[in-house]
Chains A and B, each alone.
Chain A
Amino acid sequence: MITLASPDQPTLEDFGSDVWWIVLIKIVGVFVVLVVMTLFAIVFERKVVSRMQQRIGPNRVGPRGYLQSLADGLKLAFKEDIMPALADKPVYFLAPVIAAVPAFLAFSVIPMGPTVSIFGERTPLQLTDAPIGVLVVLACSAMGVYGIVLAGWASGSTYPLLGGLRSAAQMVSYEIAMGLSIVAVFLYAGSMSTSEIVAAQADGNEVSFFGWEFTGPSWFAVLLPVSFVIYAIAVVGETNRAPFDLPEAESELVGGFHTEYSSLKFALFFLAEYINMVTVSALAATLFLGGWRAPWPLSIWDGANSGWWPMLWFFLKVVAALFVFIWLRGTLPRLRYDQFMRFGWKVLVPTALVWILAVATMRTVSREADLSTGQVALFVGVPIALVVLGGLAIASRASNRDTRLMAEEAAAGAVHAVDPEPEVLAPAGPRRRPAQRTGPSRAEGGFPIPPMDLRVPPSPRLRRAEPVGAATRGEGGVVATGRRGSTRTEVGPTDSTEDGDV
């Protein structure tokens, strides 16, 4: 099944026999590539998003503003490192490290090029590979979840905890969809090793379409379109990017899991997020877009798939995938949490399962009927993909029918403010009253807020805090704060300005 397209194509036997300094060079190379890609991705994202929003974006630091993220990174490193008083210190310290380390590790199995010569040594442009190559990436992304979850928990604050809970649920659910989408690639490539998956996409498929012979594309994105779409959606959820950035939803959770983090610890989270983006883009290029192999018009040139050129094609594919990430962020609003979870569990996972069934059937048919992969994909796979996607479109339209009709009525003016009772439930919670020039005053029944000159008393949850009103209780001054170990016996004069009503 694995056809060796050229002697430059590395196989599994080529790994694990490098000289130590070649390994060292590769490790440093992967590290540098990831850091540089992160710096590039940040500035690229800011520029692309600003173009999409009719702005200019960063244009001050360096040539055309391209050193902006370097300056931001330096600034971040020199900021004050804050340790919240209620933080669980070891876990708070470990969380950014746990987030960043697996992000770096995952890239070690990504093939960036064929076998090349480095200082006279023939070696593949890939740090390492294993029969389970892709599973290493999955394992690393599974470990990366811990960084975010623990950051949310260890901060000892409400918004980070909510962000951590959300990300735990989100990343576990979307990792299932991501893993299932990759299964079809394993079935087609016959291997889980990244270098062999690239090799499996080397040659075009001979397809005879009613007597018309041509060579079809061999990218798994074309052969397995449903897998590719599911993968693309699932990794956006997996990397916490918009429109699935619920763990750090700014308008709801301040910063989510990293609200309490600053300085280098925050920088590590930032780094991990962008490295994860680069890694899943590189994995998308490897699994679905032919890896480092040149796309069609370029592949006519014989030298395109040998030497160092493939690295260029590879990174062009990665940047294209990154652009899609940014495009999504610039276009789509954030999903509601219930929509997001329903989408993951009720749409992505069942679709992936049905698709795996279809792909397995296609494999069996092609083996039994002795048809070529391309023919089966064309005559069976494309109709099945169309049926699956069409079914999804109809199902989503049917399930959103109420909302759509109601929105159309509202847009057509059927729902007026003067209507006694619209067909919806009333909004909950206190509503903002219409704004006035001076703003509503508290006397009119606004939301009760403390006076603006309030001196905030120390939090009773802090152990070192003086229990408010200890002296005035009069029962020996023993006040249980509901927390073990914080029972105080101190009887002392307390500042009567802060507890005047006790």
Chain B
Amino acid sequence: MSVLAAAADTGVSLGTGEAVVFWVLAPVALAGALGMVFSRNAVHSALWLVNTMLVLGVFYVVQEAPFLGAVQIIVYTGAIMILFLFVLMLVGRDSSDSVVETLRGQRVAAIVLGVGFAGLAGTGIARATQDLGATGLADAQPDGNIEAIAELLFTRYLLAFEVTSALLITAAVGAMVLAHIEREPGTRQTQKELSRARFLTTDRPQTYPGPGVFARANSVAAPALLPDGRLAEDSFATGIDPQEVDQMPRPTGREQLGSPDHQLGTQDGSSGGGALR
């Protein structure tokens, strides 16, 4: 309320488009925030939060800070929340919040403190910005949003920028050091060693053939057929007796025409591919 009052005081009014965007998207952002708090499922909570962050990004763009909006979407929704989701997915999809209060009165205390903190922060910001004169976008960023940010970032706030990045790097390295488990070399096969072993110790590094081009079934029990109709022995599944599937009648097959040797008159009694039915 006080923000709107301040806006009215300085004579700044919202444009129509901006007002429409605000009144359409503000409930969406608020719904996202509430949904994040009240969802039982951790992934749903994360999604609600993504929703709110996305809306905030749109708000930044509408307020002529397009770079901030894009970075908000790329960094926060695109990278950080994805990592959140990554961790949540590793935890397991059935672990939703427990409704049992482990500390008595914990929930009431949290609500009271939360509302109190929000009130304090809101009042503080409102009081601090009460008599602040608005510079206006045209004066604040005469060369455009990106140039204005770049200039401030690399001149006035250079030290803060560098210190922040050093802090983030330290945090990332620290997390890796804490989470990393040092293994004795050789105690666990890496993917590289496994694949090397497979290539050097077996006759067949590639995958085994599937049902085959001419097969009439794709059950694991139905072996693949070679182009001449024989069964491909490589495709027999472990532990299952191969089941032969009824083949299409072939008017040009051996049953009608006999073996190629017979046709050619070179009968030596051993026709190759005798595995055909």
Contacts and interface: CB of A to CB of B under 8 A. Distances in A.
Interface of A: 88, 91, 130-132, 135-136, 138-139, 142-143, 145-146, 149-150, 152-153, 156, 161, 164-165, 168-169, 171-172, 175, 179, 192, 251, 336-339, 403, 406-407, 410, 415, 422, 424-428, 430-433, 435-442, 446-449, 452, 483
9 contacts: A130-B66, A131-B145, A135-B67, A150-B85, A164-B89, A168-B82, A338-B191, A435-B233, A449-B239
A152 B242 CA distance: 34
Contact of A425 (B79, B144, B189, B208): B189
Interface in B218-277: 221, 223, 233-234, 236-242, 275
A187 B228 CA distance: 62
Interface string B127-157: 0000000000000000011100000000000
Contact of B89 (A153, A447, A448): A153
Interface stretch (B25-33, B165-173, B175-183, B196-204): B196-204
A149 B197 contact: no
A153 B85 contact: yes
A439 B241 contact: yes
A426 B197 contact: yes
B165 to A, nearest CB: 13
Contacts of A441: 239, 241
B66 A427 contact: no
A145 B146 contact: no
A91 B51 CA distance: 13
B89 A161 contact: yes
Nearest to B186: A425
Q: How large is the interface on B (under 10, 10 to 19, 20 to 34, 35 or more residues)?
A: 35 or more
B79 A172 contact: yes
Given A165-B89, A172-B83, A440-B238, A427 B197 contact: yes
B43 interface: yes
Interface string B43-59: 11001001000100100
Interface of B: 41, 43-44, 47, 50, 54, 57, 66-67, 70-71, 73-74, 77-79, 82-83, 85-86, 89-90, 93-94, 144-146, 189-202, 207-208, 221, 223, 233-234, 236-242, 275
A150 B234 CA distance: 38
B243 to A, nearest CB: 8
Contact of B193 (A153, A425, A452): A425
Given A139-B78, A440-B236, 9 more contacts: A138-B70, A142-B77, A143-B78, A251-B207, A437-B275, A438-B242, A439-B239, A440-B238, A449-B238
Contacts of A425: 189, 193-194, 197
Given A142-B73, A425-B197, A175 B90 contact: no
A169 B66 CA distance: 27
B195 to A, nearest CB: 6
Nearest to B243: A452
